[in-house]
């Protein structure tokens, strides 16, 4: 039924600013035309109240006219005005026609949700101001008449109908709120992933590495647990670019990143530091174990082909000390890497105060 109703409607994706307005217009026109049709028939054939039947029939025709206009033009702003004015006008007409009696004024509480949702804050406030001024005028008339206000069947129906309308409107509002929240959360997660991912390799990038390193160092100091850092650099990578082209160099980096990902232990944090350099953070790890892990990595990489080519890596290792900051720790690992490069490459070198481990096939 709803699918058929929305067949000719302006189609907006759920994230679009007019999506929910269009849906409120559609739902309101569907409900109002059904509601007014039923009331028209009841007033003609059951209550034989032709005055109300005329009012209800105008509501029915107005709903269908707005629907036809909206289907033809897809003008959301004009349709929003039309629906708000229709709802407001019919409510005020109804309240005025019964002189504000039979609790008919409760219908006026439906005006703000429509006006604000469809027209926004400023125009919504304006419509509400005018509508409630008219209501105040009607109430003033009641006070002048000084007739006793009773709660009969008519009042009961008014209260029940308005309550149902409010429940539907609140459901609608909640639907828009939670859907907007879900979309925002999904978009934030996507932006977050993009912000911390290296585009080429899909590993964590430098920004994420800096933040994570800071956290790990703080945690390690606080818990007094060992923590190591490895810097890894591809040997003679420039030659790969020069000999096989930059694209081949890219493929090598992607394949190397994939290999490192599978070779790293669970709980270790791997990131691309930049260019052909990678960093691995090893929480809860002593330097001796870190060196073993590094040596295993070096051997595994040396035994593989990347885009059809063999390559080797050099690694520098350092363990967090009591007086270390992230900077001093990285500096020591970087110096160790420098040593590895300048003592022949394809090897693991640990920071200065510990004996270095040399490559097996050096």
Ligand X SMILES: Nc1nc2c(ncn2[C@@H]2O[C@H](COP(=O)(O)OP(=O)(O)OP(=O)(O)O)[C@@H](O)[C@H]2O)c(=O)[nH]1
Q: Tokens for 77, please give them.
A: 């702003």
DSSP summary character for residue 197: B
Measure the CA–CA gap between 5 and 32, rounded to whole angstroms. Answer: 13
Q: How many CB atoms lie within 10 A of CB 143?
A: 9
Q: Is 234 in the site for ligand X (CB under 6 A)?
A: yes
Q: Write down the least CB distance from residue 334 to ligand X, Å.
A: 12
At residue 1, the 3 state secondary structure works out as coil
Q: Which of 87, 249, 285, 347 binds ligand X (CB under 6 A)?
A: 249
Quick check: 241 binds ligand X (CB under 6 A)?
A: yes
Residues 63-82 that bind ligand X (CB under 6 A): none
Q: Which is nearer to ligand X, 42 or 254 (CB)?
A: 254
Question: Which of 123, 221, 341, 358: binder of ligand X (CB under 6 A)?
Answer: 341
Residues 110-129 that bind ligand X (CB under 6 A): none
Exactly one of 52, 107, 227, 237 binds ligand X (CB under 6 A); which one? 237
Contact (CB, 8 A) for 52 and 62: no
The length of the chain, given as a count of residues? 362
26 binds ligand X (CB under 6 A): no
**Residue 276 and residue 246 in contact, taking contact as beta carbons nearer than 8 Å:** no
CB of 305 to ligand X, least distance (A): 17
Query: 161, 276, 277, 295: which is the annotated catalytic residue?
Result: 276
Active-site residue flag, 174:
no
| Alpha carbons 228 and 317: distance in angstroms, whole number | 7
Is 275 one of the binding residues for ligand X (CB under 6 A)?
Answer: yes
Token match 């009641």: residue? Answer: 142
Rounded-to-integer distance, Cα 347 and Cα 25, Å: 70
Between 73 and 304, whose beta carbon lies closer to ligand X? Answer: 304
Per DSSP, 15 falls in state: T
DSSP state of 42: I
Kindly state the greatest CA–CA separation across the chain: 108
Of 233 and 268, CB closest to ligand X: 233
Residue nearest ligand X (C-beta atom): 249
For ligand X, what does the binding mask look like between residues 182 and 201, x meaning CB under 6 A? Answer: ------------------x-
Residues in contact with ligand X by the rule CB under 6 A:
200, 233-238, 241, 246, 249-250, 253, 275-276, 341, 345
């Amino acid at each position: 039924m709803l699918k058929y109703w929305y067949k000719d409607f302006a189609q907006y994706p759920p994230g679009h600013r007019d999506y929910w307005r269009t849906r409120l217009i559609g739902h309101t026109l569907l409900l109002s035309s059904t509601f007014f049709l039923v009331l028209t028939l009841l007033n003609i054939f059951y209550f034989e109240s032709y005055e109300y039947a005329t009012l209800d029939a105008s509501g029915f025709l107005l709903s269908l006219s707005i629907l036809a206009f909206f289907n033809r033009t897809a003008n959301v702003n004009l349709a929003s005005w039309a629906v708000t004015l229709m709802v407001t006008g019919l409510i005020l007409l109804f309240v005025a026609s019964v002189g504000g009696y039979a609790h008919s004024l409760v219908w006026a509480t439906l005006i703000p949700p429509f006006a604000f949702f469809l027209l926004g804050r400023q125009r919504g406030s304006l419509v509400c101001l005018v509508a409630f001024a008219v209501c105040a005028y009607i109430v003033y008339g009641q006070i002048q008449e000084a007739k006793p206000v009773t709660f009969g069947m008519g009042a009961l129906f008014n209260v029940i109908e308005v309550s149902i309308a409010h429940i539907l409107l609140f459901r609608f509002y909640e639907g828009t709120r939670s859907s907007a929240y879900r979309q925002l959360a999904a978009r934030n997660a996507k932006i977050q992933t993009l912000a911390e991912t290296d585009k080429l390799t899909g590993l964590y990038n430098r920004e994420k590495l800096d933040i994570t390193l800071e956290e790990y160092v703080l945690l390690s100091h606080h818990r007094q647990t060992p923590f190591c850092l490895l810097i890894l650099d591809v040997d003679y990578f420039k030659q790969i670019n020069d000999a096989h082209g930059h694209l081949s160099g890219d493929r090598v980096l992607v394949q190397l990143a994939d290999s490192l990902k599978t070779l790293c232990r669970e709980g270790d944090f791997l990131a691309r530091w930049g260019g052909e350099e990678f960093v691995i953070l090893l929480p809860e790890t002593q330097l001796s174990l870190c060196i073993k892990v590094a040596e295993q990595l070096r051997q595994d990489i040396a035994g593989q082909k990347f885009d059809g080519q063999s390559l080797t890596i050099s690694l520098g290792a350092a363990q967090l000390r009591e007086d270390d900051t992230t900077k001093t720790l990285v500096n020591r690992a970087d110096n160790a890497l420098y040593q590895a490069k300048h003592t022949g490459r394809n090897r693991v070198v640990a920071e200065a105060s510990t004996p270095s481990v040399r490559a097996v096939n050096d």
